[in-house]
Amino acid sequence: MALRVVVAEDNLLVREGIIKLLDHQDGLEVAGSGGTYDELIALVDRELPDVVLTDIRMPPSGTDEGIRAALALRESHPEVGVVVLSQYVDPAYALALLERGSEGRAYLLKERVSDGAQIVHAIEEVARGGSVIDPMVVEALVAQRTKRAASGLERLTPREREVLEQMAQGRNNAGIAQALFLSERAIEKHINSLFSKLGLSGEPDVHRRVKAVLLFLNEAGPGSPPG
């Protein structure tokens, strides 16, 4: 069954280009399109899509409508995934998007629009509750956190660092437990401890995992693979 997508973009030519791109992808169906925040919210209410693909800046204010829509939909339609497209490598926008959790959210640069495979991947990922952040935005995020990352990570035990390294490789608790030959309960204890040491205890679990991994990648340096 095809994933139903609503497209929001105020530039008509760009919007039509995105729709044409999506129409040529197997497994996707464009359920509607609009060019303003209000049109986007109304479309979601009416069409109940699987995923929203939205520009970050649209009328009425032309500032952060895409981010505000993603946050509003988290409350009104939590099952709807959102892919935000932006021409700005601005960590503040990405962090705002993740404010209430990273599940079902993606932040991509508009230059990715020409790459159908990347757009399809992001749509499919958020539809199943995953998260995708553009690599260039991740680099900008980790570049901001050098001093804070070092001080927090230094407090981790060797085992906690191993667990965090496994998290950075995308493994869930069960996968980490298998890789380190530990019980899932032991992994949960290590993760709660490292969250506390990194000052992430008061945030939703998925969001904490994303931030912890960003801190780890920051220590490794942009472009350095974990492990």
Mean pLDDT of the chain: 87
DSSP per-residue codes, 6-32:
EEE-SSHHHHHHHHHHHHTSTTEEEEE
Same domain, 79 and 31: yes
Distance CA 158, CA 171 (A): 18
Least confident range of 12-16, 169-173, 187-191, 217-221: 217-221
Those residues with Cβ within 8 angstroms of residue 204's Cβ, 6 or more apart along the chain or in another chain: 100, 101
Same domain, 33 and 133: yes
pLDDT, tens digit, 9 for 90 and up, residues 150-206: 557 878 899 999 999 999 888 999 999 999 999 999 999 999 999 888 888 766 666
Q: What is the pLDDT of residue 128?
A: 94
User: For residue 180, what is the domain's CATH number?
Assistant: 3.40.50.2300
Distance CA 14, CA 135 (A): 23
pLDDT, tens digit, 9 for 90 and up, residues 82-107: 999 988 887 788 888 888 888 999 99
* Domain encompassing residue 172: 145-220
Q: What is the pLDDT of residue 130?
A: 93
**Is a pLDDT exceeding 90 seen at residue 145?**
no
**Is a pLDDT exceeding 50 seen at residue 227?**
no
Same domain, 8 and 77: yes
Q: From the CA atom positions of the chain, what is the Rg in Å?
A: 19
Q: Does residue 150 contact residue 122 with C-beta atoms inside 8 Å? A: no
Q: Does residue 111 contact residue 81 with C-beta atoms inside 8 Å? A: no
Furthest C-alpha separation in the chain: 54
Q: Does residue 105 contact residue 97 with C-beta atoms inside 8 Å? A: yes
Instruction: Flag whether 62 is in a domain.
Output: yes
Same domain, 27 and 113: yes
SS3 readout for 115-126: CHHHHHHHHHHH
Same domain, 120 and 172: no
Number of domains in the chain: 2
Q: Does residue 141 contact residue 91 with C-beta atoms inside 8 Å? A: yes
Looking at 108, 140, 172, the residue that finishes a domain is: 140
Q: What is the pLDDT of residue 87?
A: 86
Same domain, 62 and 132: yes
Same domain, 49 and 67: yes
